[in-house]
Structure 1
Amino acid sequence: MSFSYRVRISTVANIDEDICDALWQRLQPKFMPTPDEAMWRNNERGFKDKWNFPHCNGAIDGKHVAAQRPPHSGSRFYNYKQYHSVVLLGLIDADYMFIAIDSGSYGKECVGSIFTESALGQRICSYSTAVPPDEPIVEEGSNLSYVIVGDEGFPLKRFLLHSFPRDKRMTTEKRVYNYRVGG
């Protein structure tokens, strides 16, 4: 584009960044609002009704998006799949709609560390996302926290679950659990 309009590459880059910022500011409140307690409870109902998984607020995963290696970046963008990429980390609801995203991490990083270092992960870890307080699933039961499910690449935390490792001797209960969390 810089050649077509006879402007410097840095000018085009600044314009692109300004346009992306303007689009985010305008569209984010409508299409990806900041989660509140009502939204988390609605997500939990969706997971309970559609996937028979109570107290689940979302599912999280990362996706490597192929990209050209930026100049002077070394191997930071080269991933284990043997190509250059940036990572899109997405948190979705029971209908596969994005609740929150984080993008632009180096392809060489694993999703667990990307999650831990991302603004999304830090907000969830600090409980600053208006997630409902711990509650029992059944009447007079123990209080349980609301959770997010991911794959084995994510760390186990009080609010973050993943599937059991696959094993031929796996119990039926573990197989059902893995099915529920998508493992």
Structure 2
Amino acid sequence: MPKTSQEWKAIALEFNKKWNFPHGLGALDGKHIVIQSPMNSSSEFYNYKHNFSIVLMALVDANYCFTFADIGCQGRIGDSGVFRNTILFKKLDAGNLMIPEDEPLPMTDIPIPYVFVADDAFALGPHLMKPFAGIYEKGTKEIIFNYRLSRARPIVENVFGIMEAIFRVFGKPMQLEPEKA
């Protein structure tokens, strides 16, 4: 994980260059890693997809590289809840991530924060951006923003797809207890 604001700015520069999303610090999402039903777990690991899982919460940069990963939270917990249990969230909440100060975008005077991009499953926050909800007319600021965010956010899902294609163990339920999985 980046340790300085300059390292975060380098990630943001890549996001702007490759995905046309300025001030993007990474794409955040969770992936359910399917496991066999753990012994004596009841529904603790049972998720909305009707299987048992642990969640891999990941933050990836513009080049499809992990900058943060946390694994092991029970599958029954949603992405936002899983994120709140990570070290990344705790450091973000405490202001210890060394995220750069807000800066204006080109041709503006309004300081804009550096943000992580996520989907609707996450709670909106000062450094966590998700799409505008609802329907908007073509050409509105909201539609343009959603389009740009929708170009940057799927990077994390692409990383999960690449990971599953390379490591075939993620394509079927793991026959391990959650701690081993």
TM-score, normalised on structure 1?
0.75
1:132: which partner in 2?
A: 100
1:88 partner amino acid: L
Rounded to whole Å, the distance in 2 between the matches of 1:143 and 1:165 is 23
If you compute each CA radius of gyration, which structure gives the higher value, 1 or 2?
A: 1
Does 2:161 correspond to 1:160? no
Quick one: which of 147, 157, 160 aligns to 2:115?
147
Does 2:52 correspond to 1:84? yes
Structure (1/2) with the larger helix percentage:
1
Structure 1, unaligned runs of 5 or more: 1-32
Taking a change above 3 Å as real, the CA distance of residues 34 and 141 of structure 1, as seen in their structure-2 partners, is: closer
Does 2:12 correspond to 1:44? yes
Does 2:139 correspond to 1:172? yes
Taking a change above 3 Å as real, the CA distance of residues 50 and 34 of structure 1, as seen in their structure-2 partners, is: closer
Shift of 1:56: 1.1
TM-score, normalised on structure 2?
0.76
Does 2:25 correspond to 1:54? no
CA-atom RMSD, angstroms?
1.8
Residue-pair matches, total: 150
Rounded to whole Å, the distance in 2 between the matches of 1:126 and 1:151 is 23
Shift of 1:108: 0.4
Rounded to whole Å, the distance in 2 between the matches of 1:172 and 1:121 is 34
Does 2:59 correspond to 1:122? no
Task: Give the percent of matched residue pairs that are identical in Structure 1 and Structure 2.
Answer: 34
Residue deviations 1:108-132 (CA, integer Å, cap 9, x gap): 0000011112211111222211111
Rounded to whole Å, the distance in 1 between the matches of 2:21 and 2:108 is 19
1:142 partner amino acid: I
Structure 2, unaligned runs of 5 or more: 154-181
Residue deviations 1:66-90 (CA, integer Å, cap 9, x gap): 0112211110111000100000000
Shift of 1:156: 0.4
Instruction: Tell which has more relative contact order, 1 or 2 (C-alpha 8 A, sep 6+).
Output: 2
Rounded to whole Å, the distance in 2 between the matches of 1:93 and 1:35 is 14
Residue deviations 1:4-32 (CA, integer Å, cap 9, x gap): xxxxxxxxxxxxxxxxxxxxxxxxxxxxx
